[in-house]
């Protein structure tokens, strides 16, 4: 069964407290109406035990990547940490479609998203190295990014400082994935009187993105094998 992985990086658990989650739920509702057979798995990163690149994991990756070690030569702690990393990566790889919902904090995405993404960069699993450089292996997978912004980053003096959406785009591209669209709701803190209009536009865009992703899924389902 095809799967959509819905990833949220915000400590606010209740949907009504998170503007990003409100936009994300619109996407999910529309997408599931269009493609009811799709399985939706939710990952609320703040509820998860995410492996962190500590000393054991750092050495395990180095030993297996370029130092010529085999898995049975790792220490027990190294092997346990590396197994946890692969387990999380396997959950990610098992999906076909992805929705990332993040706020922009201090110019970038919450640190927990980077911590999560660190577990996905596994040589010979999600990318390989070639004579022409790295090549992502997660091809054919589609994603969208929903980002909420307190200020304005799409234009003006802050545009060059936006590094949250840029990071998501570049990281997924490195892994071979396609980020179809970014749904942005910005100015939410700077223009409180405009919040209803900002949210309405973002929800409309989310619905359009969901229908576009559903069309791609429908076309793939009827494609001859």
* pLDDT per position as a tens digit, 116-166: 999 999 988 999 989 999 999 999 999 999 999 999 999 999 999 999 999
pLDDT in tens, 65-95: 788 888 888 888 888 888 999 999 999 999 9
- The whole-model pTM stands at 0.94
pLDDT in tens, 2-21: 999 999 999 998 999 999 99
Q: Which backbone phi and psi does 151 adopt, to 5 degrees?
A: -105, -165
Percent of the chain at pLDDT exceeding 90: 80
What would the DSSP string read from start to end of the chain?
Answer: --EEEEEE--S--SGGG-HHHHHHHHHHHHHHHH-TT-EEEEEEGGGS------HHHHHHHHHHHTS---GGGS-HHHHHHHHHHHHHHHHHHT-SEEEEEEE-BTTB--HHHHHHHGGG--BTTTEEEETTEEEES-TT-EEEEEEEESS--SSSTTGGG--HHHHHHHHHHHTT-EEEEEEEEE-TTT-GGGHHHHHHHHHHHHHHHHHHHHHHHHHHHHS--
Confidence of residue 62 (pLDDT cuts 50, 70, 90): confident
What would the DSSP string read from start to end of 132-145?
Answer: TEEEES-TT-EEEE
Quick one: average pLDDT of 183-211? 97
Tally of residues, the chain: 225
Give pLDDT, residue 225.
55
């Amino acid at each position: 069964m095809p799967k959509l992985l819905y990833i949220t990086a915000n400590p606010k658990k209740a949907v009504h407290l998170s503007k990003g989650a409100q936009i994300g739920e619109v996407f999910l509702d529309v997408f599931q109406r269009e493609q009811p057979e799709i399985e939706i798995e939710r990952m609320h990163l703040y509820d998860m035990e995410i492996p962190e690149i500590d000393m054991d994991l750092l050495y395990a990756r180095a030993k297996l990547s370029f130092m010529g070690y085999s898995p049975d030569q790792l220490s027990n702690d190294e092997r346990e940490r590396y197994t946890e990393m692969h387990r999380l990566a396997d959950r990610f790889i098992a999906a076909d479609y992805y929705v990332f919902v993040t706020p922009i904090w201090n110019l970038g995405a919450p640190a927990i998203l980077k911590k999560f993404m660190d577990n996905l960069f596994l040589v010979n699993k999600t990318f390989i190295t070639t004579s022409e450089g790295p090549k992502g292996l997660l091809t054919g997978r589609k994603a969208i990014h929903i980002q909420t912004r307190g200020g304005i980053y799409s234009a003006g003096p802050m545009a060059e400082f936006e590094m949250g959406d840029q990071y998501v785009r570049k990281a997924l591209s490195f892994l071979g994935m396609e980020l179809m669209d970014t749904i942005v709701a910005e100015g939410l803190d700077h223009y409180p009187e405009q919040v209803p209009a900002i949210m309405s536009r973002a929800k409309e865009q989310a619905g359009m993105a969901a229908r576009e992703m559903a069309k791609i899924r429908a076309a793939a389902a009827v494609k001859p094998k």
